[in-house]
Amino acid sequence: MSRRLTLRDERWPLAAAFVIARGAKTEAHVIVAEIAEGGAIGRGEAVPYGRYGESVEGELARMEALRPALEAGLTRQALQKALPPGAARNALDCALWDLEAKLSGVPAWRTAGRTRLDPVKTCYTISLDTPEAMAQAARPMARRPFLKLKIGGPDDLDRVAAVRAAAPKTRLIVDGNEGLSFDDLVRLTPEFARLDVKMIEQPLHADADEALEGWISPVTLCADESLHTCRELAACARRYGAVNVKLDKAGGLTEALAVVDQARALGLELMAGCMVATSLAMAPAMIIAQGAEVADLDGPLLLARDRDPGLVFDGSLIFPPTPQLWG
């Protein structure tokens, strides 16, 4: 059966500027792969990330170079060796998962070894800003089960304290995006514990996180930029208590499932994470989120508008995707 590959990039405006320690963005610039075969079309979406040396143009070129092999029937397993982990492989891997589900009639979650696909509750992210502005943003979100706060500056303790006052009952996660020094972390962590922060995500730069080995944190530390594929898990297990598994970092659902299994075997907690993107990127991550301690799949909530059809959100609760969206 012949295949046809279609590639494109799309821009999705954000509802408000999204600010982290490394900078700000006002739109989600995504890449989309569609693989047509036998009357079915499988789709995958990914977000090239400059932090990892990626660009939209570069990732589209990677996929275009693989067009002859894909259209000749390249398998999902062979794709893992044909491309390195990253956005290009993620878009193609998820498109192949979707295509297989549509051709076979077997849902992707069942092929992934899950017995069911349940709704999950997602974090909601508060962008980096002044303590007052972050508290103002958090106040109407105070009934959500989890808020994730972006930090990365001299007023970090004031930021977290202001949000805690505005949302006294919600569980808080703090995300440093590699913006803290080890001295900052040692100084701030007891105060974060006092404010009942449940997790600190990637406080140190990935190249400097060996400083965490042997240090006992009063708050669970979660690897993000330090964890891409199974290769980094052993080091992460010595430095962190949890890992953030993202399809874009792993290079697709295939590798992400392996990361989840090995992380669990190492005794690590799991966060199912995302880049800011549409529901098409979140849908396969719903499989990773099953049983995870934290789901952080709020990308569509940060957009001015989402893809149609998209995932259905009821507050922080995300319902499983329909086959029309993915899987």
pLDDT reading at 234 higher than 70: yes
pLDDT reading at 54 higher than 80: yes
Confidence of residue 22 (pLDDT cuts 50, 70, 90): confident
Confidence of residue 19 (pLDDT cuts 50, 70, 90): confident
CATH of the structural domain 3-111, one choice from 3.40.630.10, 3.40.50.920, 3.30.390.10, 3.40.1590.10:
3.30.390.10
pLDDT score at 217: 97
- Torsion angle defined by CA atoms of residues 101, 95, 15 and 256, in that order, rounded to the nearest 10 degrees: 90
Confidence of residue 146 (pLDDT cuts 50, 70, 90): very high
pLDDT score at 243: 98
Q: Where in the chain are the domains?
A: 3-111, 120-318
pLDDT score at 210: 97
pLDDT reading at 230 higher than 70: yes
Share of the chain above pLDDT 90, in %: 95
Confidence of residue 17 (pLDDT cuts 50, 70, 90): confident
pLDDT reading at 1 higher than 80: no
- Rounded-to-integer distance, Cα 54 and Cα 71, Å: 24
pLDDT score at 21: 77
CATH code 3.20.20.120 for 120-318: yes
Q: Which residues are catalytic?
A: 150, 246
Mean pLDDT to the nearest integer, 7-30: 91
Q: Supply the pTM of this predicted model.
A: 0.95
Q: For 265-278, how does the pLDDT look when each residue is reduced to its tens digit (9 = 90+)? A: 999 999 999 999 99
Mean pLDDT, rounded, of the chain: 96
pLDDT score at 177: 93
pLDDT score at 18: 87
